[in-house]
């Protein structure tokens, strides 16, 4: 049987879609809106540093963020291909998945810097 | 139809001939528009991942960097971007939850789990995760 990568991309797309649907609303609301705008008191630095410095937080955030990036790359690939009719199939895939791949290293570096 | 196109459609009687839809086909109907907005949520999900990574990095760099990041995050253009991004995330969550029962058919004891139960379970998971994150961050 011929090995095909496409089913695994769809699996990662689904996993990342679930992660984004469940984790992102609360994270975006708290960290992008409520804390910067003072709707809720921002947590002390010491407490937040302890939370993001914990190995479990690192693993959960790294896993969730990478899946979300692959999800976004996969969906944006079809937005370019079907929505905007950019028919350079290989280039579109390379830019989208390449972006997610780069994002994985950025995530590793930034999450690692806080532990 | 241009001469070239006529020639092509006349010679290509096989299944490879395709008509190219116009670039702005998705502005013609509200349902197409919502579909494209849902697809565009990917860009905002990628942005929020990057934003949260920058947030974590600022926390790791110390108290001053954290305070500076919160000030930067309250600047008007960033607030506008994040409000739009949050709206797209909500659109993603709602559409994702409602599509799940169509993508995944669950059977329990030989009977199909009703779509409403699957959607409800996802909102319950969303509530539990949100409450846990809020507790962990603000306790």
Distance separating alpha carbons of residues B109 and B112, to the nearest angstrom: 8
In a domain, residue B2? The reply is no
Round to whole Å and give the CA distance between B101 and B10: 44
pLDDT at residue A97 in the model: 93
Cα dist. B128→A55, A101, B122, B133, B138 in Å?
22, 30, 10, 9, 15
Q: What is the mean pLDDT of residues A45-74?
A: 95
Tens of pLDDT, residue by residue over A13-38, are: 999 999 999 999 999 999 999 999 99
CB atoms within 10 A of CB B39: 19
> Domain check: are B108 and B58 in the same one?
no
Are B84 and B121 found together in one domain? no
CB contact under 8 A, A24 and B48: yes
For chain B, how many structural domains are there in total? 2
CA–CA gap between residue B137 and residue A52 (Å, rounded): 10
Phi, psi of A65 (to 5 degrees): -65, -40
Query: Quick check: B45 and A72 CB within 8 A?
Result: yes
Predicted pLDDT at B25: 76
Q: Are residues B82 and B120 in the same domain?
A: no
Predicted confidence at residue B5, as pLDDT, reads: 54
Q: How far is A2 from chain B (nearest CA, A)?
A: 24
Cβ contact, residue pair B96, A18, below 8 Å:
yes
| B68: chain A residues, CB-CB within 8 Å | none
Of residues A77, A64, A75, the one with CA closest to residue A103: A64
pLDDT tier, B26 (very low <50, low <70, confident <90, very high otherwise): confident
pLDDT of B3 above 60: no
Q: What is the CATH number of the domain that holds B69?
A: 1.20.1300.10
Contact with chain B for residue A79, Cβ under 8 A: yes
Nearest residue of chain A to residue B80 (CA atoms): A33
- Please tell me whether residues B109 and B84 are part of one structural domain: no
Predicted complex: ipTM over 0.90: yes
CA A20, CA B46: separation in Å to the nearest integer? Answer: 10
pLDDT band at residue B8 under the 50/70/90 scheme: low
Does B19 reach chain A within 8 Å, measured CB to CB? no
> In terms of residue numbers, what domain contains B119?
104-139
CB contact under 8 A, B89 and A24: yes
Pick the CATH number of A6-113 from 3.30.300.30, 2.40.160.10, 1.20.1300.10, 3.40.50.2300: 1.20.1300.10
Q: Which residues in chain B have their CB less than 8 angstroms from residue A45's CB?
A: 59, 62-63, 66-67
Is the CB of B50 less than 8 angstroms away from the CB of A106? yes
Q: How far apart are CA B136 and CA B4, in angstroms?
A: 65
On whether both B36 and B80 belong to a single domain, the answer is yes
Rounded to a whole number of angstroms, the distance from the CA of B11 to the nearest CA of chain A is 23
Record: contact A25-B20, CB cut-off 8 A: no
B56 to A18: CB separation less than 8 angstroms, yes or no = no
Residue B119, chain A, CB below 8 Å: the answer is no
Same domain? For B86 and B109 the reply is no
The predicted-structure confidence for B29-80, as pLDDT tens digits, reads as follows 888 888 888 989 999 999 999 999 999 999 999 999 999 999 999 999 999 9
Give chain B positions within 8 Å (CB) of A14.
Answer: 103
């Amino acid at each position: 049987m011929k090995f095909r990568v496409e089913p695994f991309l769809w699996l990662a797309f689904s996993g990342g879609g679930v992660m984004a649907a469940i984790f992102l609303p609360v994270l975006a609301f708290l960290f992008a809106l409520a804390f910067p705008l003072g709707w809720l008191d921002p947590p002390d630095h010491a407490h937040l540093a302890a939370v993001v410095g914990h190995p479990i937080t690192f693993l959960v955030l790294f896993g969730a963020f990478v899946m979300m990036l692959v999800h976004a790359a996969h969906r944006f690939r079809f937005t370019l291909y079907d929505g905007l009719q950019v028919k350079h199939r290989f280039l579109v895939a390379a830019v989208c998945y390449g972006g997610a791949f780069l994002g994985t290293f950025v995530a590793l570096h930034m999450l690692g810097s806080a532990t | 139809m241009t001469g070239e196109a006529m020639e092509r459609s006349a010679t290509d009687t096989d299944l490879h001939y395709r008509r190219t839809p116009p670039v702005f086909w998705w502005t013609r109907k509200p349902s197409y528009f919502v579909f494209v907005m849902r697809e565009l949520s990917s860009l905002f999900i990628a942005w929020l991942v990057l934003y949260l990574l920058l947030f974590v990095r600022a926390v790791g760099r110390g108290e001053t960097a954290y305070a500076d990041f919160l000030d930067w995050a309250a600047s008007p253009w960033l607030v506008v971007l994040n409000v739009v991004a949050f709206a797209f995330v909500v659109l993603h969550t709602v559409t994702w939850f409602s599509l799940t029962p169509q993508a995944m058919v669950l059977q329990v004891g030989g009977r199909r789990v009703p779509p409403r139960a699957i959607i409800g379970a996802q909102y319950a998971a969303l509530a539990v995760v949100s409450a846990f994150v809020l507790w962990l961050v603000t306790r």
